[in-house]
């Protein structure tokens, strides 16, 4: 597959910054096989490149979630499946979680839209009985976001596979960290 220069830069950015979040633009240019001047013709600086990476990452997440959840039988199931689609993207996207870009209007608007969609899905799942209706939606959304980051971290560190991390994230969201009744009985 032949990539245009912009795509090469974006892919190089994901590769380089995933391996080293403090890498330089020269590192990205080298990975893309272009000169730094060419990189600067596409992106004026690090923040502009990071904003482009954030937008690409959000589009990638949206596409992965849509593909995985399109045949979900319920909103609750769609939320579980969305974790299965997001966690494997950790190696490409985790570095963006530590990059403050909320002052970039395009990034903020896309992130806000994603959070609003998540809140709507949580509300629908609560109506189905997938989450306790007494738990505030904002709490569940924040837990979902935080646990996704935690899942990415354990996958990055090699402490769990993407599948295991997604299952653990879902279990924590829906059941907390206590033993199941079966596990309690088996331990006794």
What are the b/e assignments for 99-123, b being 16+ CB within 10 Å?
A: bebeebeebeebbeeeeeebeebbb
Q: Is the domain defined by 1-44 classed in CATH 1.25.40?
A: no
Q: What is the CATH number of domain 55-187?
A: 1.10.357.10
**Does residue 180 surpass a pLDDT of 70?**
no
Instruction: Give per-residue pLDDT as tens, 87-137.
Output: 998 877 777 777 788 888 998 999 899 999 999 999 999 999 999 999 999
Contact call for residues 32 and 12 (beta carbons, < 8 A)? yes
Same topology between domain 1-44 and domain 55-187? no
What are the b/e assignments for 128-138, b being 16+ CB within 10 Å?
A: eebbeeeeebe
Domain boundaries, the chain: 1-44, 55-187
Instruction: State the average pLDDT for the chain.
Output: 90
């Amino acid at each position: 597959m032949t990539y245009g220069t912009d795509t090469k830069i974006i892919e190089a950015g994901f590769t380089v910054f995933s391996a080293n979040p403090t890498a330089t633009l020269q590192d990205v240019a080298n990975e893309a096989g272009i000169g730094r001047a060419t990189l600067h013709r596409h992106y004026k600086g690090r923040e502009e490149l990071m904003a482009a990476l954030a937008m690409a990452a959000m589009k990638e997440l949206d596409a992965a979630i849509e593909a995985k959840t399109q045949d979900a039988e319920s909103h609750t199931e769609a939320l579980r499946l969305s974790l299965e689609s997001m966690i494997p993207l950790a190696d490409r996207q985790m570095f963006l979680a530590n990059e403050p870009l909320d002052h970039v209007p395009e990034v903020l608007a896309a992130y806000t839209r994603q959070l609003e969609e998540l809140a709507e899905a949580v509300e629908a799942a609560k109506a189905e009985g997938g989450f306790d209706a007494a738990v505030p939606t904002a709490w569940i959304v924040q837990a979902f976001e935080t646990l996704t980051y935690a899942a990415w971290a354990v996958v990055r560190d090699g402490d769990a596979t993407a599948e295991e991390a997604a299952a653990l994230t879902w279990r924590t969201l829906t059941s907390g960290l206590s033993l199941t009744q079966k596990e309690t009985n088996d331990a006794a």
